[in-house]
Structure 1
């Protein structure tokens, strides 16, 4: 994961720089580069104001650089990246040209009065992007990843290279992967089959029966003590239902640990 992209200003977590600092700390371990992104909207072209849009880009760049000035970059290359247009369109376009390996997003504030785990734009990115997404809880500080809890309903992973991010994390940190298979009411016989590539990186396996994947994760958190939770976003099952709406409510899902969301199936 050499290219890590962080949208600036989507949550309190990113506004106060804790998200960027987490991304920098992670990039240092992975040997990656961080792109700090902020979007700006170009004005219609005007013959009398030919430099207005270039000025808007410069203002956006300055805004990002101001945020970066407070970071401890630890030798990591952090690039201010002003992108034109809407974030949901600008990131895929940039990805085509620069091959982004990971998007790092912040969850909404842990304030009890805020009902959302992910806001409109963050939730839309998780729902629509082809890029793996790492969601960092508010004010969470980076620590080395030693244990990963991967929660699945099916052991079948059809998406090519879907496991690449988690394999790189396991290798970089010397971490172990504890696999939890949650059997829900719609569990199918073929879900018991495990792709060889997945089986090769698993340290321990356990299954449980729960109404949802989320309930299974909650039931086993204290037993596992993970540093990272990993899930797949598939077309079938709990996470597909979770992101039917762009926002994600805390009552439906909330993680106090970093959450890595991988694409599991086409």
Structure 2
């Protein structure tokens, strides 16, 4: 995890995510932090020429970082400021391609935030892009060393879907204990397909020596995952992006949407194909 990208809209939620990104980057000895703002939705009147607005936005980005707590171990010369008038999704994709971004960090406040605020809609757009792993930070969440991570899986198409290289890289760099959880109140994970899926995911993540648990009590999958997180004091939830359709469903009634709404710990959406 060498390069972090932090898209911001200067909201309180964005500040929380930016501080979390700074602290996590310090923890992981990252070499570059890119703070990015899209002004695609700026007012059309009264804000001068494009170049003037870009310069003003870059100054705002610098002022924002000045309000963050920057550990001494993270020199400010590792900060990069980028502003443009591209839609957030396009801007993020361009930066990821140019700077080999390892992790995107964004904030979210909850269900209504996803649907009704700019930072929520921007987070949704970046999730749909799948340009790089996306870490979504809950409102007011403060970074602490990540000791335990859980990978939530539905045990379907395991060999194709599981972002094993990304999970191994991230958990390994964090030095985190790895858990795998599957919520299945109907069959308790005992169908032939799911038994095979369990064997496959354990083999793929063998370097991490993960624990595996089937949760059979809650009927709601998101509640099951969240209960597990609370019981085992999990610090980070990992989920795979199944395919493009996953992102379309993510914020429209899926398990993932509810999980993002109720989670009190950050969630990382990982691409099937590993990145940087």
TM-score bucket of the superposed structures, by smaller chain: 0.7 to 0.9
Alignment check: 8 A CA contact 1:147 1:177 kept: yes
Task: Kindly state the Cα deviation for residue 167 of structure 1 after the two structures are TM-superposed.
Answer: 2.4
Considering fraction of residues, name the structure with more helix.
Answer: 2
**Other structure's SS at 1:207 match:** strand
Structure 2 portions without partners, runs of 5+: 43-47
- For 2:265, the equivalent position in structure 1 comes to 257
- For 1:68, the equivalent position in structure 2 comes to 65
Task: Kindly state the Cα deviation for residue 19 of structure 1 after the two structures are TM-superposed.
Answer: 1.7
Please give the per-residue CA displacement for 1:192-240, whole angstroms capped at 9, x wherever unaligned.
3214332332421111235453132033233211011111121499876
- For 2:238, the equivalent position in structure 1 comes to 230
C-alpha spacing 1:100/1:185, structure 2 compared with 1 (3 Å):
farther
Alignment check: 8 A CA contact 2:28 2:174 kept: no
The number of residue pairs the alignment matches comes to 251
Residue of structure 2 aligned with 1:214, choices 213, 222, 244? 222
Distance 2:22 2:250 in 1: 29
Structure 1 portions without partners, runs of 5+: 44-50
Task: Kindly state the Cα deviation for residue 185 of structure 1 after the two structures are TM-superposed.
Answer: 6.0
Considering fraction of residues, name the structure with more strand.
Answer: 1
More displaced, 81-90 or 191-200?
191-200
Task: Kindly state the Cα deviation for residue 164 of structure 1 after the two structures are TM-superposed.
Answer: 4.0
Distance 1:252 1:70 in 2: 27
- For 2:45, the equivalent position in structure 1 comes to none
Aligned residues: CA RMSD: 3.4
Distance 1:198 1:27 in 2: 24
Distance 1:236 1:53 in 2: 34
C-alpha spacing 1:126/1:237, structure 2 compared with 1 (3 Å):
closer
Task: Kindly state the Cα deviation for residue 122 of structure 1 after the two structures are TM-superposed.
Answer: 1.1
Distance 2:153 2:10 in 1: 28
